[in-house]
Chains A and B, each alone.
Chain A
């Protein structure tokens, strides 16, 4: 079934306007529409579901408060996502300090395709690996890989040096590589 993008956009605009007017039902509709993706984003930045729920809750309140400022120039989903990521950063800054991790042994992965790994491990397994990272690594890894931010930008946002960002990112990847390898061994 084809979905007319114009109608979808109109509906989204109407929904946003209703939310600005304070219509609670519309707000709940907006929440239902975006919560799966936004919660997944917050899960990646959090250690567990409880933390993610706390962040996504704060994020949605912020979204409803800030709706008037949405300029409708870009994607609404991207705008919400930005706010969620900001809330994750804020949460991270209020909860944790940067903790460098030492003594990481590099482990060579087997030469297999990513699709195969995803198929064999599953998304939940990958999510758990990210969540298991130390907070700083997880934050930097997420910002670099999923938000496609540069190390300079990450450093500015987190109040750290660019070198620290690069170093932590590298260590995060090593950790994940090792975790994936271990999981594949178990899966065999």
Chain B
């Protein structure tokens, strides 16, 4: 009997070992198609970096959009606020004439003629210019410049007969006026006394200009200061006078030791806003640094329906989620009283352990024969030193394996908030772009009496980016105007799988208890 059985082995070996058979002629077409598909996948992988850049650009663009929106909103808000003060802060429509220092008679004769309309128009021009440039819009300089006498329009001449006249004058001179400075002229040689006109010109760097004070006459200075104060153009408290007798006439011009006197001009109403007003404007942005311990789980889906070895049920049974967490900072932008746009940058960490199992050697993606470890996230290859030259099908015993996934997340969500006293209740929904930073496997392998720990930094079959949805209900408790404690239980659920070309498709979900400190900026 045994001899017969031995013959059976030889019989089949001799009969079939060198056997040759031809498959269906269509088989090559199938292989050809599969090779094309593989090429396509490799090309897609090549462009994955471009996709990352595109996503980053998208978020940058979004941030820029939010900033732009914020800036416009701020400008409009300031304009509205200033409108309400227009009675006191806008320039009087009547012409204002001011006397410059000198003798009392001269004081009366010398005047500062301020054409309110002219100033207004120039300011309007400046305002338009400022809106276009959006730079240094609040910074104007006030100069009294003897050297710029030709730019000073004598008050008597420039004094408008009617309301329209100065507008024309100004318009005609508008292009010629290059600086946004208020200048005044002291025509010292004139018996009738100089007249002064304050011109507001488009700004140039302050340092290049000689800055002078109107006069050292306290009374006239006071008058002029009052005028300018009334115009709300000069932060008077910043003007430091330096006495300097120019001709012994008593009409003294002095350089102003003032650097960058601000002249905020906000709207057509020619409203000047001081920096304090600007500073007191409540910010629409807030930052919430947070930490979130997460409860993690996943939904597995068969990638290949006939796969019975690495099917989802077996993998789910052999894996257990360990501690997961998310940390980062969220930026809120208040759209209005109730709606908030939220973005930020977070970093999540998920660890999953795989129970001990036997792993087999096979050809890796580079063609080398290594031991393959399959996980729900993807697969990796290990090659222990005690079995460095395996043949396909060799097996090893892998002790408990841990695979770790770290992602940088960029969330974008909309929040609806209701405030009740110190508490704010909010509901949030949005999505998050998750960029893979780390995907690694740690395991210990055993064969016979050999043990070796291995760390695989590369998990194959793992997508570099996946998207997840966000839903949360939260509570904020305000400590003060600037700070609040924030607690937002948040559900994050994968919108697409984190892997491809892997034994199973994995859709990770987490439920996190977001604890943070909200800080207004």
User: What is A's interface to B at a CB cutoff of 8 Å?
Assistant: 22, 24, 27-28, 31, 35-37, 39-40, 43-44, 49, 52-53, 56-57, 60-62, 64-70, 82-83, 85-86, 89-90, 93-95, 106, 108-109, 114-115, 117-118, 123, 126-127, 129-130, 141, 144-146, 153, 156-157, 159, 170, 173-174, 176-177, 180
Residues of B within 8 A of A61 (CB): 31, 34-35, 38
Q: How far is the CB of B392 from chain A (nearest CB, A)?
A: 4
Q: How far is the CB of A32 from chain B (nearest CB, A)?
A: 8
> B247 near A: Cβ within 8 Å?
no
Residues of A within 8 A of B28 (CB): 28, 31
Q: How far is the CB of B157 from chain A (nearest CB, A)?
A: 86
Residue of B nearest to A82 (CB): B392
Residue of A nearest to B369 (CB): A69
Q: Which of B359-374 contact A (CB under 8 A)?
A: 360, 362-363, 365-369
A31, A94, A115, A177: the one contacting B4 at CB < 8 Å is A177
The 5 lowest CB-CB distance pairs between A and B, nearest first, are A69-B367, A66-B367, A86-B392, A36-B20, A157-B393
User: What is B's interface to A at a CB cutoff of 8 Å?
Assistant: 1, 4-5, 7-24, 27-28, 30-32, 34-35, 38-39, 306-309, 358, 360, 362-363, 365-369, 391-395
Residues of A within 8 A of B365 (CB): 65
Cα of A37 to Cα of B21 in the assembled complex, Å: 7
Q: How far is the CB of A159 from chain B (nearest CB, A)?
A: 5
- Asked whether A57 lies within 8 Å of B31 as measured between CB atoms, the reply is yes
Cα of A163 to Cα of B147 in the assembled complex, Å: 110
- Asked whether A130 lies within 8 Å of B27 as measured between CB atoms, the reply is no
Residues of A within 8 A of B367 (CB): 65-70
- Asked whether A156 lies within 8 Å of B392 as measured between CB atoms, the reply is no
Cα of A65 to Cα of B58 in the assembled complex, Å: 36
Residues of A within 8 A of B391 (CB): 82
- Asked whether B23 lies within 8 Å of A130 as measured between CB atoms, the reply is no
A31, A69, A153: the one contacting B31 at CB < 8 Å is A31
- Asked whether B5 lies within 8 Å of A126 as measured between CB atoms, the reply is no
- Asked whether A146 lies within 8 Å of B394 as measured between CB atoms, the reply is no
- Asked whether B392 lies within 8 Å of A43 as measured between CB atoms, the reply is no
- Asked whether A24 lies within 8 Å of B35 as measured between CB atoms, the reply is yes
Query: Can you show 12 pairs from A to B with CB atoms below 8 A apart?
Result: A24-B32, A53-B27, A61-B35, A65-B363, A67-B367, A69-B369, A93-B309, A126-B11, A127-B16, A173-B8, A174-B5, A180-B8
Residues of B within 8 A of A130 (CB): 12, 16
Supposing A53-B23, A57-B27, A68-B367 touch, asked if A118 and B4 sit within 8 A by C-beta, the answer is: no
- Asked whether B307 lies within 8 Å of A94 as measured between CB atoms, the reply is yes
A53, A89, A90, A174: the one contacting B24 at CB < 8 Å is A53
Residues of A within 8 A of B10 (CB): 114
A64, A95, A114, A123: the one contacting B308 at CB < 8 Å is A95
B12, B17, B30, B393: the one contacting A86 at CB < 8 Å is B393
Residues of A within 8 A of B39 (CB): 22
Residues of A within 8 A of B308 (CB): 93-95
Residues of B within 8 A of A156 (CB): 358, 393-395
A70, A94, A118: the one contacting B15 at CB < 8 Å is A118
Q: How far is the CB of A103 from chain B (nearest CB, A)?
A: 17
Cα of A35 to Cα of B23 in the assembled complex, Å: 8
- Asked whether A66 lies within 8 Å of B363 as measured between CB atoms, the reply is yes
Q: How far is the CB of A104 from chain B (nearest CB, A)?
A: 12
- Asked whether A127 lies within 8 Å of B19 as measured between CB atoms, the reply is yes
B8, B17, B363, B395: the one contacting A177 at CB < 8 Å is B8
Residues of B within 8 A of A173 (CB): 5, 8-9
Residue of A nearest to B6 (CB): A173
Interface of B is mostly: mixed
B20, B34, B309: the one contacting A40 at CB < 8 Å is B20
- Asked whether B20 lies within 8 Å of A86 as measured between CB atoms, the reply is no
Residues of B within 8 A of A115 (CB): 14
- Asked whether B395 lies within 8 Å of A39 as measured between CB atoms, the reply is no
Cα of A138 to Cα of B368 in the assembled complex, Å: 28
Residue of A nearest to B360 (CB): A157
15 additional A-B pairs beyond A49-B23, A93-B309, beta carbons within 8 Å, are A40-B20, A57-B34, A61-B35, A65-B363, A69-B369, A85-B392, A94-B307, A127-B19, A145-B12, A146-B13, A156-B393, A157-B393, A173-B8, A174-B5, A177-B4
- Asked whether B22 lies within 8 Å of A35 as measured between CB atoms, the reply is yes
Residues of A within 8 A of B38 (CB): 61, 65
Of the listed residues B18, B19, B30, B369, the one surrounded by the most CB atoms of chain A closer than 10 A to its CB is: B19
Of the listed residues A28, A37, A40, A130, the one surrounded by the most CB atoms of chain B closer than 10 A to its CB is: A40
Cα of A53 to Cα of B34 in the assembled complex, Å: 14
Q: How far is the CB of B369 from chain A (nearest CB, A)?
A: 8
- Asked whether A146 lies within 8 Å of B16 as measured between CB atoms, the reply is yes
Residues of B within 8 A of A170 (CB): 5
Cα of A32 to Cα of B466 in the assembled complex, Å: 42
- Asked whether A85 lies within 8 Å of B8 as measured between CB atoms, the reply is no
- Asked whether A64 lies within 8 Å of B15 as measured between CB atoms, the reply is no
Cα of A129 to Cα of B11 in the assembled complex, Å: 12
- Asked whether B11 lies within 8 Å of A27 as measured between CB atoms, the reply is no
Cα of A35 to Cα of B392 in the assembled complex, Å: 20
Residue of B nearest to A92 (CB): B309
A39, A65, A114, A127: the one contacting B23 at CB < 8 Å is A39
Supposing A27-B35, A94-B307, A157-B394 touch, asked if A39 and B362 sit within 8 A by C-beta, the answer is: no
- Asked whether A126 lies within 8 Å of B34 as measured between CB atoms, the reply is no
Q: How far is the CB of B367 from chain A (nearest CB, A)?
A: 3
- Asked whether A118 lies within 8 Å of B11 as measured between CB atoms, the reply is yes
Residue of A nearest to B368 (CB): A69
Residues of A within 8 A of B360 (CB): 157, 159
Cα of A129 to Cα of B366 in the assembled complex, Å: 38
Supposing A65-B365, A130-B12, A177-B8 touch, asked if A39 and B31 sit within 8 A by C-beta, the answer is: no
Residues of A within 8 A of B35 (CB): 24, 27, 61, 64
Residues of A within 8 A of B8 (CB): 109, 173, 176-177, 180
Residue of B nearest to A49 (CB): B23
- Asked whether A159 lies within 8 Å of B11 as measured between CB atoms, the reply is no
- Asked whether B23 lies within 8 Å of A56 as measured between CB atoms, the reply is yes
- Asked whether A37 lies within 8 Å of B20 as measured between CB atoms, the reply is yes
Cα of A156 to Cα of B365 in the assembled complex, Å: 23
